[in-house]
Structure 1
Amino acid sequence: MNRSKILGLAAIGAAAIAATSCTAIREPRGYIVDATLVQSVQPGIDNERSVTGTLGRPTFESQYGEKTWYYVSSTTGRKPFVRPRIREHSVLAVKFDAAGNVVSAERTGMDQVVYLRPDGDETPTLGRERSFLEDLFGNIGAVGQPGLGQGQ
């Protein structure tokens, strides 16, 4: 082979390696959704025990209101050296009645995702703003004063 063909092949090989190294990395996170198992959960037929046997333990449970189990699944994609972005997202909410029987099983997706953008790098708080020195020296002289919870 002549020198120009070798350099051309080397350039094509380098371009191919560079192109494959910049592809998105897909990472599944949370519950791995199996459509067949999700569709097998039937309101009025299943209960907590059968749902646990079919889908496994939930990602988290509701703390207030009606008992609901949430199965959260996300797939992120990112390119090297770039912050990951959500590509797919789904939440399966299985609601139970007081007896532990399934009332409903609802699935939502990316349409329910809310992106929050913080306003600046400080969290706004109520009350008086203090300087660094006031924070540092603010308690001097306050220790042991009557009425501050110290014993008499």
Structure 2
Amino acid sequence: MVRKFVAILCVLVVAGCTSVYRNHGYVPKDEELSEIVVGVDTRDTVAETVGSPSAGGVLDSSGYYYVQSRVRHFAYRRPEVVSREVLAITFDNAGVVRNIERFGLEDGQVVPLTRRVTETAASDNGFLRQLLRNLGNFAAGDILE
């Protein structure tokens, strides 16, 4: 009985210490991209050839962006992005392919994000603190009325 318990415990410990990898997104393969001709293909033919993009540019004249990430999950640690690939297909004003570029995780730059928080007059009090604070704020005559 003890041996079975120890064996099950060992299996659970080993299973808990293994990494789990998850893939997110889609980037077309080089074979599919070889079918796209710069200066000839349009937005519609690109979408037919390699599929719809993960993201599009903010402006109509900007490009299609295909993003694929591989994330490693390990025990209690934060998920870590192991690899990321971005394929950018840019178009000119007429909607014709102008350029195809690939970017990897090593090409990226860390962008510091600022957090703007509006200050409020509310204080950070929990339920129990508010309850205990109100214990002395009433008179016995108020309860009898």
| Distance apart, 1:79 and its partner CA | 1.1
Kindly indicate whether the alpha-carbon contact (under 8 Å) linking 1:33 and 1:73 is maintained by their aligned counterparts in 2: no
Matched residues, number: 122
**TM-score normalised to the size of structure 1?**
0.62
Answering whether residue 93 of structure 2 is matched by residue 104 of structure 1, we say no
1:35/1:81 Cα in 2 relative to 1: closer, same or farther (>3 Å)? farther
- SS state of the match for residue 93, structure 2? coil
| Distance apart, 1:71 and its partner CA | 0.9
Residue of 64, 70, 81 corresponding to 1:86: 81
1:48/1:23 Cα in 2 relative to 1: closer, same or farther (>3 Å)? same
Answering whether residue 34 of structure 2 is matched by residue 45 of structure 1, we say no
| Distance apart, 1:53 and its partner CA | 0.9
Residue of 112, 116, 119 corresponding to 1:123: 116
- Structure 2, unmatched stretches of 5+, are 123-145
**CA-based RMSD:** 3.1
Answering whether residue 61 of structure 2 is matched by residue 72 of structure 1, we say no
The answer for the alignment partner of 2:130 in structure 1 is none
| Distance apart, 1:20 and its partner CA | 3.2
Kindly indicate whether the alpha-carbon contact (under 8 Å) linking 2:89 and 2:100 is maintained by their aligned counterparts in 1: yes
The answer for the alignment partner of 1:57 in structure 2 is 52
Q: How does 1:13-24 map to 2 (within 5 A)?
A: 14-24=9-19
Aligned amino acid, residue 40 of structure 2: I
Answering whether residue 25 of structure 2 is matched by residue 30 of structure 1, we say yes
Identity of aligned residues (%): 23
**TM-score normalised to the size of structure 2?**
0.65
| Distance apart, 1:90 and its partner CA | 0.9
Structure number with higher helix proportion: 2
- Structure 1, unmatched stretches of 5+, are 1-5, 134-152
1:52/1:118 Cα in 2 relative to 1: closer, same or farther (>3 Å)? closer
- SS state of the match for residue 98, structure 2? strand
Aligned amino acid, residue 112 of structure 1: D
- SS state of the match for residue 44, structure 1? coil
Kindly indicate whether the alpha-carbon contact (under 8 Å) linking 2:27 and 2:87 is maintained by their aligned counterparts in 1: no
| Distance apart, 1:46 and its partner CA | 2.1
